[in-house]
Amino acid sequence: MTVKIKDILKHNSLSITGSRQKILELFLSKNGALSHADIEKKTGESFDRVTVYRTLQTFVERGIIHHIPTTDNSIKYALCKNDCAPGHHHDNHVHFICDECSKTICLEDVIIPSVKLPKGFTPQHSEMVVTGVCGECR
């Protein structure tokens, strides 16, 4: 487990530091998405707020985690399961937000359908969020 974490960091030519290991561990242990605030809570007082921000930024840049759109306009992050390379994420799956437990879940297998746009519009990227009740809360 710890080995895996270090491997991911090395793989992305990032130095192995306490904060990076801890935050990455958090993402690996939870399978939902995490907000900045979630991470701050769960890491306790271990790290500075600023460090968390910067670590998340770095992870997004390297393609280790990706942004998740939410309906309430808060920022959440989740692990990139697929082969995301630095710079281009393959993040074309639907995200689900549970109204009960308010967890955000990546539905890796549900790809975003394409829609027919009015004349003149050229699509480049789509995001889709579905809210409702998840399996565990039913």
Least distance CB 76 / a copy of itself (angstroms): 9
- Please state the closest distance from residue 29 (CB atom) to a copy of itself, in A: 21
Closer by beta carbon to a copy of itself, 5 or else 91: 91
Which residue type sits at 39?
A: I
Handedness of CA 134, 128, 110, 12 (dihedral sign): negative
Q: Which is nearer to a copy of itself, 83 or 109 (CB)?
A: 109
Closest among 111, 102, 108, 112 to 134, alpha carbons compared: 102
* Cβ neighbours around 50 below 10 Å, total: 8
Residue 101 contact, options DNA, a copy of itself, none, Cβ 5-8 Å cut-off depending on partner type: none
For residue 76, the surrounding DSSP H or E stretch is strand 76-79
Half-sphere exposure of 51 (CA within 13 A, CB side): 14
| Minimum distance of a copy of itself from residue 119's CB (angstroms) | 7
Q: Which is nearer to a copy of itself, 16 or 101 (CB)?
A: 101
Q: Which does 132 bind (CB under 5 to 8 A by kind): a copy of itself, DNA, none?
A: a copy of itself
**Beta carbon nearer to DNA, 17 or 126:** 17
